[in-house]
Amino acid sequence: MPDNASGADNQQERFSIDSVPPQLGYFLAGFVHGEGSFMLVCRPRADYPRGWKISAAFNASQRDVVPLNLLQRTFRCGTIRRAGNGDWYYEVNRLRDICDVVIPFFRRYPLVGQKAKDFELFAKAVDLITAGLDDATYVSVLLLRERLNSGGKRRYTMEKILRGHTPNTGLESVQ
């Protein structure tokens, strides 16, 4: 019988938070504190009911690829690529990996300060996305996005995303 589980196709061994040595975990959490981001990405998609796809992503970037390789080897997911400015970029954008790896990692090796607040907003949004985006949770995720990364730069504003979409929030009957 092959070493890989059926259908695993060269998949690495699954991530286990217990397999991360504390010294490595705290190092990586510190690295992410300085070089990482938690994001809620909104992209126009005509094939989505509301015309927009909302997805979660975690990334870290740096000129030196070595710490990013260490993140990828530890998390056993995500991709590394060269950014246009010559830096390297590590990203996890598969929802399952965010739920099974990224969030448990930062629960075990917590961040501090504003980055910790951003992580909590991100984790809450991921919970909502995972549960399914009805009209109310769709708006809730967008509101969390507005608070994430101190408001940060946004390619698409919440107003633009909601233009043409009037969610059923239950407030319509209140006059």
pLDDT tens, per residue, the chain with 175 residues: 334 333 334 445 788 999 999 999 999 999 999 999 999 999 888 888 888 889 999 999 999 999 999 999 999 999 999 998 999 999 999 999 999 999 999 999 999 999 999 999 999 999 999 998 888 888 899 999 999 987 667 777 787 888 855 555 544 444 3
Residue 11 has a pLDDT of 46
Residue 65 has a pLDDT of 97
Strand partners of residue 128:
none
Q: In angstroms, rounded to a whole number, what is the distance separating the alpha carbons of residues 45 and 89?
A: 25
Q: In angstroms, rounded to a whole number, what is the distance separating the alpha carbons of residues 89 and 105?
A: 19
Q: Is 130 inside any structural domain?
A: yes
CATH of the domain at 52: 3.10.28.10
Could you tell me if 33 and 76 are in contact, meaning their C-beta atoms sit under 8 angstroms apart? no
Residue 167 has a pLDDT of 53
Q: Is 4 inside any structural domain?
A: no
Q: Is 11 inside any structural domain?
A: no
Q: Is 161 inside any structural domain?
A: no
Strand partners of residue 55:
41
Could you tell me if 91 and 53 are in contact, meaning their C-beta atoms sit under 8 angstroms apart? no
Q: In angstroms, rounded to a whole number, what is the distance separating the alpha carbons of residues 138 and 143?
A: 9
Q: Considering its fold, how many domains does the chain have in total?
A: 1
Instruction: Measure CA 29 to chain center.
Output: 15
CA end-to-end distance (rounded Å), the chain: 67
What does pTM read for this prediction? 0.82
Q: Is 168 inside any structural domain?
A: no
Q: Is 47 inside any structural domain?
A: yes
Q: Whole domain around residue 32: which residue ranges? A: 18-149
Q: Looking up tokens 């092959």, which residue turns up?
A: 2
Residue 1 has a pLDDT of 38
Q: Is 162 inside any structural domain?
A: no
Q: Is 63 inside any structural domain?
A: yes
Residue 165 has a pLDDT of 59
